[in-house]
Amino acid sequence: MGNIWKKTFVLSLMIVLGVFLTSASAGTIEKIKERGALIAGVKDAVIPFGYIDAETNQLVGFDIDICRAIAKNLGVELKLKPVTSATRIPMLAQGSIDLAAATMTHKFAREDSIDFSITYFMDGQKILVKKDSGIKSVADLAGKKVGTSKGSTSEKNIKEAQPECNVLSFEGYPQAFLALRQGKVSAVTTDSGILVGLKNSAPDPEDYVIVGDFIAAEPYGLGLPENDSDFRDLVNRTLVDLWNTGEYLKIYNKWFGPKTNFYLPLTWKMEIWPY
């Protein structure tokens, strides 16, 4: 009986280990399909990329619609998890989310821990100020306080563009804009699409202006798990198909078109790879 028990125990252990190793080695696509849902990390307070709709109390926005298209291609439902500029990469690296669609600039430095899709949104960094501030460019920010979001590329870029300004980093862009409204900072800096959302969702948008030349280019990529080429290829094919079919333009115009409050002309073309 002792030998039989030992053999049974060993066999059971091998089965358990086999299941564990298979699960551990499964790719992102397999995990998503087994779960039945794509878990996307998105902003929840950055109009119009990702924010809570006041009427429906649901997360909506440009990034959410892009994620919905990827989930549809996978044949699964979409689940959303709020992230910030500071938490999006750690959450992706730890496996808490399958991808990050969170106004994230593709930088080589960030590829130390995650991978990226092709560029799905192109923007550039500018500054938002009060209309009567007299500030016209980054040159006028010397000696002044500038607000931005913690963990963003904007922190580094503004320090390089104007070393004499005092950068205050907030949890998110709404908090930085509130500081501008309260006179605690003289400007808010980030990508122009986000600044348009901040300005035009304010009760007094005419009191604020976006000024100056672009401080830095901001090519957005979807953050993806590192070293999973199958999932990266699927995401890239989805983005290319959205562009080729015109669906991308429909999504873009829904949030940034001339009939919206956040008009941002589409002046770039997605890099299309042939099949």
User: Which residues pair with residue 41 across a beta bridge?
Assistant: 81, 100
Provide the pLDDT confidence category of residue 6 given band limits of 50, 70 and 90.
low
| Intrachain domains 28-122+219-256 and 125-217 with the same fold | yes
Mean pLDDT value across the chain: 92
Q: Own/partner pairs for 196-204, CB < 8 Å, 24+ apart? A: 196/262, 196/263, 196/264, 197/46, 197/47, 197/48, 197/49, 197/262, 198/47, 198/128, 198/173, 198/174, 199/128, 200/261, 200/262, 201/47, 201/261, 202/177
Read off the pLDDT of residues 175-218 as tens digits, 9 standing for 90 and up.
999 999 999 999 999 999 999 999 999 999 999 999 999 999 99
Instruction: Categorise residue 241: left if φ over 0, alpha if ψ from -120 to 50, beta otherwise.
Output: alpha
The CATH T-level fold of domain 28-122+219-256 is D-Maltodextrin-Binding Protein; domain 2 (3.40.190)
CA–CA distance, 165 with 185 (Å, rounded to integer): 11
* pLDDT (mean) for 147-152: 93
Provide the pLDDT confidence category of residue 4 given band limits of 50, 70 and 90.
low
CA–CA distance, 24 with 31 (Å, rounded to integer): 10
CB-based contact 216:158 (threshold 8 Å): no
Assign 3-state DSSP to the chain and report helix, strand, coil percentages, each to 5. 45, 25, 35
CA dihedral (233, 235, 240, 244) in degrees, to 10, reads: 130
Read off the pLDDT of residues 83-107 as tens digits, 9 standing for 90 and up.
999 999 999 999 999 999 999 999 9
Read off the pLDDT of residues 220-266 as tens digits, 9 standing for 90 and up.
999 999 999 999 999 999 999 999 999 999 999 999 999 999 999 99
Residue 274 confidence (pLDDT): 82
Residue 204 confidence (pLDDT): 97
Read off the pLDDT of residues 21-63 as tens digits, 9 standing for 90 and up.
444 447 999 999 999 999 999 999 999 999 999 999 999 999 9
Residue spans of the domains in the chain: they are: 28-122+219-256, 125-217
Token representation of residue 102:
């969170």
Residue 25 confidence (pLDDT): 47
Residue 10 confidence (pLDDT): 45
The CATH T-level fold of domain 125-217 is D-Maltodextrin-Binding Protein; domain 2 (3.40.190)
User: Which residues pair with residue 223 across a beta bridge?
Assistant: 100, 116
Residue 129 confidence (pLDDT): 98
* pLDDT (mean) for 98-121: 96
* pLDDT (mean) for 95-123: 96
CA–CA distance, 152 with 35 (Å, rounded to integer): 31
Strand 187-191 with 145-149, pairing = parallel
| Sign for the pseudo-dihedral over CA of 245, 249, 252, 254 | negative
| Sign for the pseudo-dihedral over CA of 163, 169, 175, 178 | negative
Residue 24 confidence (pLDDT): 41
Provide the pLDDT confidence category of residue 273 given band limits of 50, 70 and 90.
confident
Read off the pLDDT of residues 57-81 as tens digits, 9 standing for 90 and up.
999 999 999 999 999 999 999 999 9
Provide the pLDDT confidence category of residue 3 given band limits of 50, 70 and 90.
low
